[in-house]
Amino acid sequence: MNHEIFAAIGEALTKGEEVALVTIVSSNGSTPQRVGAKMLVYADGRTVGTIGGGCYEHDALGKAREALRHRRPVTAKYDLNDDFAEETGLVCGGQMTVFIEPLEAPPALYVFGAGHVGYYLARVASEAGFELHVVDDRAAFANRERFPFAASVVVEDIPTWLAQAALPASAYAVVVTRGHRHDLDALEALAARDLRYLGLIGSRAKVARIYDQLLSEGRATLEQLSRVHAPIGLDIGAVTPQEIAVSIAAELVAVRRGKATAIADASLRWMPKTNVPGAP
């Protein structure tokens, strides 16, 4: 059975899907499965393999989905002698411990803008284990000579490219283009997407102007913008492009490792200035 699970893991990671591996790591007494038995759990609740069935497997499945959401491993212990087991009519009596480990391929990071910040961010994030994709409409900036470590380098108008590109829900997207209009157009194209992380570079004043324009023109909703990390990056007092890149990379890692939320808090980062319906 384990060979089927390992094959499923390889297929899921190749597709960019996140899965959690549930493994029995210890057992005492009579248990339905032995140490080493495994079950693979997908984010939507699908499973491959089994750790023995019953309500404890259902409980482990729920914990596995939680582990995927928080991207943190979990250890769970089950006593098959107690009422927990009796609910399903299990006749075995013993204890077992399972280890639940979230698994993911190197997360895809899309850097929209290949200028100074985008360049340094790509370098740092690549070293941190992200799979880099760089998009910019300037061939002088977006090219293989500058980004030899990127999985892809695209030279095209960003909104035009996004109109036909499918980004996985597990992707991270960073908008660091060369100006207000390009940032606004890129954010409009990304705001409605279901992404792990979406960040926009700029001061609070610049972010407020972009948000106000998108909202007033009906090009994005307040709910969509509330998910954007803006101003982007952890507040470390960054000034230079290199320091700003470090602050952004640190936030990406914090989200990836479950140390920061993937959903930004608009009430802390930005408040709308215009009288937009539904705005606080």
Each domain of the chain, given as residue ranges in start order, spans: 2-103, 108-269
Residue 73 is given by DSSP the state -
For 7-60, the pLDDT digits (tens) are: 999 998 888 788 999 999 998 877 778 899 999 999 899 999 999 877 789 899
Helices (H), 154-203: 158-164, 180-191
Q: What b/e readout covers 49-67, taking b as 16+ CB neighbours within 10 angstroms?
A: bebbebebbeebbebbbeb
Q: Which residues pair with 108 in a beta bridge?
A: 131
Q: Report pLDDT for 140.
A: 97
Yes or no: say if 38 and 49 are a contact pair by the CB < 8 Å rule. yes
Q: Report pLDDT for 176.
A: 97
Q: Rounded to the nearest 10 degrees, how much is the dihedral formed by the CA atoms of 136, 140, 143, 149? A: -90
CATH number attached to the domain at 108-269: 3.40.50.720
For 91-138, the pLDDT digits (tens) are: 456 788 999 999 988 899 999 999 999 999 999 999 999 999 999 999
Residue 39 and residue 181: Cα distance in Å, rounded?
49
Stronger pLDDT, 258 or 247, i.e. the higher one: 247
